[in-house]
Homo-oligomer: A and B are copies of this chain.
Amino acid sequence: MNRTDYLQAAEAHCERRGCKLTALRRQVLELVLRHEGVVKAYQVLADLQKERGIAAPPTVYRALDFLVEQGLLHRVDALNGFVVCDHFECQHESMILVCETCGKVQEVDVIAALAGLRDVADAADFTLSRQNLTLTGLCKACRI
């Protein structure tokens, strides 16, 4: 899916969910899309400032929070960053794989594989919500 299609789909997705991908939110989403992998909020802020002169942290954080809420982005806690999710339509649960060496990130769907963890959680009297796990390890290139 190219960037334009993605943005259009994202807009429709928000519409369907009863909220709006405003100009600002769209702009922030575009800025995140321009990066490979994880982006930091303050990086987005800097980019935004380049495009529109001034902008303060809350502007960016609000937009990012919105995008995460809509499922368009995932927050990667381990890195204090954000990644684009490009299958926001399906009710997915994913693993975000972060290479410890090169830092590259990829997202994989894991609905089925989570069943085991869900069982363990159940046994501990705990109901797991939908998850977007961040897991670390080594990518193919760094494994050697």
Complex CA distance for A137 and B95, rounded to whole angstroms: 16
B residues less than 8 Å from A131 (CB atoms): 135-136
Interface SS of A by simple majority: mixed
A128 in contact with B135 (CB, 8 Å): yes
B residues less than 8 Å from A138 (CB atoms): 126-127, 129
Task: Give min CB distance, A55 to chain B, whole Å.
Answer: 25
Complex CA distance for A128 and B99, rounded to whole angstroms: 9
* Interface locus among A43-51, A60-68, A113-121: A113-121
Interface size class of A (residues with CB under 8 A): 35 or more
> Knowing A117-B110, A121-B97 touch, does A137 contact B133 (C-beta < 8 A)?
no
Complex CA distance for A28 and B124, rounded to whole angstroms: 29
Which residue numbers of A lie inside 8 Å of B, CB to CB? 77-78, 95, 97, 99-100, 106, 108, 110, 112-117, 119-121, 123-129, 131, 133-140, 143
What are 28 A-B residue pairs whose CB atoms fall within 8 Å in the complex?
A77-B78, A77-B134, A95-B117, A95-B121, A97-B121, A99-B126, A106-B124, A108-B120, A108-B121, A108-B123, A108-B124, A110-B117, A110-B120, A113-B116, A113-B119, A113-B120, A115-B116, A116-B117, A121-B135, A125-B140, A126-B137, A126-B138, A127-B138, A128-B136, A128-B137, A129-B136, A129-B138, A131-B136
